[in-house]
Amino acid sequence: HFSLLVFSFSLRIMSFKIIVIGASKGGLSALKTVLSALPAEFPLPVVIAQHREKDSDEGLCQLLQKVSSLTVVEVEDKQPILPGQIYLAPAGYHLLIESDRLPTSSCHFALSTAEPVSYSRPSIDVLFESVAEGYGEGVIAVILTGTNKDGAKGLATIKQAGGMAIVQDPNICEAESMPKAAIAATEVDKILPLEEIGPFLTEMGRKD
């Protein structure tokens, strides 16, 4: 029975296909810490929803690229999802993941100007819920610092679909509301200090 459990766990580790990250207040600094820890050969796509106003943070992509060994791009509508890339939701748009058919390798991005969710566009919940539908148990989702509850519902949806939920330790982050809401919404797999999230994702990528 033990060997069967080990085999099953190994298959579970190898099933991850995508990482999604949600961040709000304090997110730029937190994202820099996480992304700078990912190696150049990191194999999974990383998709980020960072709360920002439509006319602000125009250089966010460039700021993240300075600390990342991976290519950082702001998503365009219908853009395909490639491994080893970091994708940033544009300001003023919801970012979704769509798939015309299985397998999930056919997934692509879609942008929406629908009404803000939890006062936010891009909304973390919108991204997380769409990735849960597209990738199911292949998702690793991360909630970082933030001041509202956006992402909590989406994280619970990802967990229900069989994905992994990681939350920044609310006791040692800039804004604790978003991590606390996420922890209250679902049973998370890991609550980690910010500095440990990037190395943990790197380890998951190596096992993929």
**150 is annotated as an active-site residue:** yes
Q: Identify whether 51 is a catalytic site residue.
A: yes
* Total number of residues shown for the chain: 208
Cα distance between residue 179 and residue 170, in whole Å: 6
Residue pair 179/166 in contact by the 8 Å Cβ criterion: no
Pick the catalytic residue from 51, 68, 94, 118. Answer: 51
E-strand spans in 36-181? 46-50, 71-74, 85-88, 94-98, 108-112, 139-143, 164-168
Please list the residues that pair with 19 across neighbouring strands: 46, 140
Q: How far apart are CA 129 and CA 138, in angstroms?
A: 13
Active-site residue identified among 24, 118, 120, 130: 24
Q: Are 118 and 80 in contact (CB under 8 A)?
A: no
Burial 27-51 (b: 16+ CB within 10 A, else e): bbebbbbbbebbeeebebbbbbbbb
Which one from 94, 118, 150, 177 is the annotated catalytic residue? Answer: 150
Active-site annotation, residues: 24, 51, 150
